[in-house]
Structure 1
């Protein structure tokens, strides 16, 4: 008679947490001295700031996502959007004006739209437009640049062009196989009360997204400590280099779209065009958003979508800057 080998007991997350707490108590003196380093304090401040800025909007996003799942039938979305993707993509981009969300909030909403049968290109256009062209961001940009009101129009045009352009590119070249099946699969019909569906959907989306927000915040904190500020301030007379560096910096710093205009405005001596590139690229692609997209839609999607978005956003920002700010920007 064959005997089965006993299954190995798995270590639970509670046991891991207890082990970490015991190690923390034993090494508290060393940990306290290590945390007192200026670089660690700076990194901790950046981490808390990134998460604190993004978390309220992330909660807003999962609430909207839960509301769509519980109260908006898929047939209603199909009636509201044009049947042709070429027309539905700019409509989704303009819809971002009406919904003031951070980029973290737009990810669960975009996934919910996909699960309701909205074409992927349309959902992605909304994902890119909502954090960048909503009234809160535009007002913040106007306040940050009181002497340059043209920055508002330039940011609106550049961000909207990025969202629509990426939506059209995905409609032409994107493949559903690049996105995780669970992000596209429609939720099965259920007889549960709508408020229960709303609560369970919002809770599940929040758990999914919050972990990747923490990863993105940690990455931003490390990069903020590593990158010397003197490098940024030395770009005043180098437009081309300034555009490239500010585009990369927008990806690495991962600022919330409601606050990035004040950071850009505070960089003295830098022309307006590199600052505009910073404002257009940041809400479209950054390390925090990449982590959220990878966790929500899969790494195969994020590794293709993020680089393409970076190139399109930078190009759209430069063109918008030349049109609204002038060649000397």
Structure 2
């Protein structure tokens, strides 16, 4: 009985500490996402992005600092940009970079890792490099422009950004509130699962085995990449879960978690398959996984 109480207490402490630290950023992230999705149009993004493939890729990797968007909205917005004539590599770069390189994510990462500038700097730098590289690689791998599904429809079953209500006559404020509620529900749902899993790992997995897995430079990276993919956390709060693994997994493995999750996860993959053709999605996921794996293995 005493052992059970000790386990429950330890789990509650770890879980609640992760949640309490992240709640302010989750709320701000939901509100910011709601505002941007309501007032940021594809036309604004199209005008802001240079048409030159190389210059455009570099600009798209940083434009999230000005136009941050939620990960859910990134997929349909990117599709709209491509259909409007924005080069595919520029749109893909923006889709991958915006959830990482935006002010709120940078601030939450800094706070989650107790002001560790190295973590923040590497996340931003590597996120930028991987996003730009992926866009350019996809430009080479995708020989033609026939990769967008013609029957794509944005609906509430696959998107939580509230875009299914845009055809209804509502005020901008109502649309923003609607989007904010949906985004908060989506962020909170996945984050609670991620925080609970992180706490369970800390409680039930023996420290020795945890350290054995974590210190293996290859196995640790693979585990954290897969964890990032399947747990599908929002980028505004994933750093709080990642910091819980810093003492058990290698720094490179934790960084892999921070890099891959905002770019490709289970939730976004479903959105990608609903928007783009399978061959394009498989190529994109393979490139992102490969670059994140390589980058993480070289970080100590």
1:249 has 2:218 as partner: no
Alignment partner, residue 8 of structure 2? none
Post-superposition shift, 1:291?
Answer: 0.9
- The higher radius of gyration belongs to 1
Counterpart CA distance in 2 for 1:239 and 1:80 is 40
1:120 has 2:98 as partner: no
Counterpart CA distance in 2 for 1:81 and 1:237 is 42
Post-superposition shift, 1:98?
Answer: 2.2
1:100 has 2:79 as partner: no
Counterpart CA distance in 2 for 1:91 and 1:264 is 28
Counterpart CA distance in 2 for 1:245 and 1:254 is 14
Q: Deviations over 1:209-235 (max 9, x none)?
A: 9xx99xx99x989x99x9985675542
Alignment partner, residue 26 of structure 1? none
Counterpart CA distance in 2 for 1:289 and 1:58 is 17
**CA 56–180 in structure 1, closer or farther in 2 if over 3 Å, else same:** farther
Q: State how many pairs are aligned.
A: 260
Counterpart CA distance in 2 for 1:280 and 1:109 is 21
1:260 has 2:228 as partner: no
Counterpart CA distance in 1 for 2:76 and 2:27 is 13
Query: Normalised by the size of structure 2, how large is the TM-score?
Result: 0.68
Query: Normalised by the size of structure 1, how large is the TM-score?
Result: 0.62
Alignment partner, residue 151 of structure 1? 119
Stretches of structure 1 lacking an aligned partner (at least 5 in a row):
1-44, 185-192, 322-328
Counterpart CA distance in 1 for 2:59 and 2:253 is 29
Stretches of structure 2 lacking an aligned partner (at least 5 in a row):
1-14, 154-166
Post-superposition shift, 1:101?
Answer: 3.0
Alignment partner, residue 291 of structure 2? 312
Counterpart CA distance in 2 for 1:155 and 1:220 is 20
Alignment partner, residue 132 of structure 1? 100
1:276 has 2:258 as partner: no
Q: Deviations over 1:94-140 (max 9, x none)?
A: 10122333322322322232233222211111100010111111111
**CA 120–229 in structure 1, closer or farther in 2 if over 3 Å, else same:** farther
- Within 5 A, what are the aligned runs for 1:217-232? none
**CA 109–232 in structure 1, closer or farther in 2 if over 3 Å, else same:** farther
- Within 5 A, what are the aligned runs for 1:162-181? 162-174=130-142, 175-181=144-150
Counterpart CA distance in 2 for 1:120 and 1:147 is 36
**CA 232–295 in structure 1, closer or farther in 2 if over 3 Å, else same:** farther
Contact 1:114 1:183 survives alignment (8 Å): no
**CA 128–232 in structure 1, closer or farther in 2 if over 3 Å, else same:** farther
**CA 65–255 in structure 1, closer or farther in 2 if over 3 Å, else same:** closer
RMSD between aligned alpha carbons? 4.3
Alignment partner, residue 12 of structure 2? none
Post-superposition shift, 1:54?
Answer: 8.5
Contact 2:252 2:297 survives alignment (8 Å): yes
**CA 120–260 in structure 1, closer or farther in 2 if over 3 Å, else same:** same
1:295 has 2:263 as partner: no
